[in-house]
């Protein structure tokens, strides 16, 4: 049985946040009541603050992306649970600028409700609020799924591009329009060969036999609709790209690709996956404009990965992508 190294009687959130704030005290600050984090370095040209958040267990999302060119504040919930609306409200008030606040929200019911309540409270205070909903997971793209596509790996790319636009002085309406356009042109899907370890029981939340994969697994460990035999990486990546590109439809630009580890996938594996994805996109007539490889949206210790493809069909989007950013978990890409 795997062992999670967390303090007794703790899901890890409080000590983890304190440790994160200690490790990055030149870049972020932690508020204890209610719990939220804010960036210390913000562009003077920014007119609208960017606020995100969600359940913990996905580190470095979201707190790792606090900083210039990215987020202003983050409200972290308990493990795999939405932050309370008071957290979102106080975090937003702490960083609000004259042009208001933009909430970047992953498509989960609890996140939408609590960010929505916080937004109403902020508007009552006279603060303008907009929202961008990230909904990229094609595994839940079905008429039978009432909530629609879940928000997953694309969140990192959307936060980066919106952060760059905010640092250029974009107003709230411009940021909402950009975020909505990005959300329509990005899709993801995830697979796993081993489930995550529950912080409550210390046990795997589901079991797979040797040679099996969960195809379309969720970032909270949700089982997929399909359990499939794993044969080879080439065929697996081809199937994932088929589903992603099938959902996107006609491709209009070069591709921005995120190969994201879900917790315990090694760099050796992730770079091999990128190589396969780049080659297969080229065979389909789609150029790889840039890539990001690493564990950026984890699911605790799940062994698996996700592929995210953003159709960068607008020339200005590449300028935004290449704009400098600085945050604890942000790193240079092959731009």
Strand ranges (E), the chain: 28-32, 35-39, 49-56, 73-79, 101-106, 129-134, 186-194, 212-215, 226-229, 254-261, 288-294, 303-312
> Of the listed 24, 62, 103, 220, which one is catalytic?
220
Asked whether 30 and 74 are in contact (CB, 8 A), the reply is no
Alpha-carbon distance of 250 to 235, in angstroms, equals: 22
* 135 touches 109 (CB < 8 A): no
34 by DSSP, 3-state: which? coil
Coil, helix or strand for 178? helix
Q: Which of 63, 64, 133 is nearest to 104 (CA)?
A: 133
The helix or strand, by DSSP H or E, that contains position 123, with its residue range, turns out to be helix 109-124
Active-site annotation holds for 84:
no
Query: 11 by DSSP, 3-state: which?
Result: coil
Q: Determine which one of 58, 84, 103, 303 is catalytic.
A: 58
Could you give the CA distance from residue 158 to residue 234 in angstroms, rounded to a whole number?
28
Q: Which residues are catalytic?
A: 58, 220
């Amino acid at each position: 049985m795997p062992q999670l190294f967390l303090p007794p009687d703790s899901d890890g959130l409080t000590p983890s946040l304190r440790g994160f704030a200690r490790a990055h005290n030149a870049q972020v600050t932690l508020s204890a009541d209610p719990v939220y984090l804010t960036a210390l370095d913000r562009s003077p040209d920014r007119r609208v603050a960017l606020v995100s958040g969600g359940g913990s267990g996905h580190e470095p999302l979201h707190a790792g992306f606090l900083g210039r060119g990215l987020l202003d504040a983050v409200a972290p919930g308990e493990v795999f649970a939405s932050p309370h609306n008071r957290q979102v409200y106080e975090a937003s008030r702490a960083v609000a600028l004259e042009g208001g606040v933009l909430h970047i929200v992953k498509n989960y019911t609890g996140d939408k409700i609590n960010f929505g309540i916080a937004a109403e409270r902020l508007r009552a205070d006279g603060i303008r609020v907009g929202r961008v909903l990230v909904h990229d997971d094609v595994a839940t793209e079905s008429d039978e799924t009432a909530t629609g596509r879940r928000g997953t790996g694309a969140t990192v790319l959307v936060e980066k591009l919106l952060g760059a636009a905010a640092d250029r002085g974009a107003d709230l309406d411009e940021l909402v329009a950009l975020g909505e356009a990005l959300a329509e042109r990005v899709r993801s899907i995830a697979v796993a060969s081993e489930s995550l370890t529950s912080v409550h029981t210390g046990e795997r939340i589901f079991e797979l036999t040797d040679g099996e994969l969960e195809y379309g697994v969720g970032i909270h460990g949700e089982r997929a609709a399909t359990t499939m035999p794993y044969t080879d990486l080439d065929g697996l990546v081809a199937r994932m790209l088929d589903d992603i590109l099938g959902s996107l439809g006609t491709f209009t630009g070069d591709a921005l690709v995120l190969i994201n580890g879900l917790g315990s996938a090694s760099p050796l594996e992730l770079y091999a996956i990128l190589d396969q994805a780049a080659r297969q996109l080229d065979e389909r007539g789609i150029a790889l404009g840039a890539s990001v490889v690493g564990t950026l949206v984890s699911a605790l210790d799940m062994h698996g990965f996700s592929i995210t493809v953003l159709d960068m069909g607008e020339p200005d989007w590449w300028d935004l992508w290449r704009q400098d950013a600085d945050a604890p978990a942000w790193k240079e890409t092959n731009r």
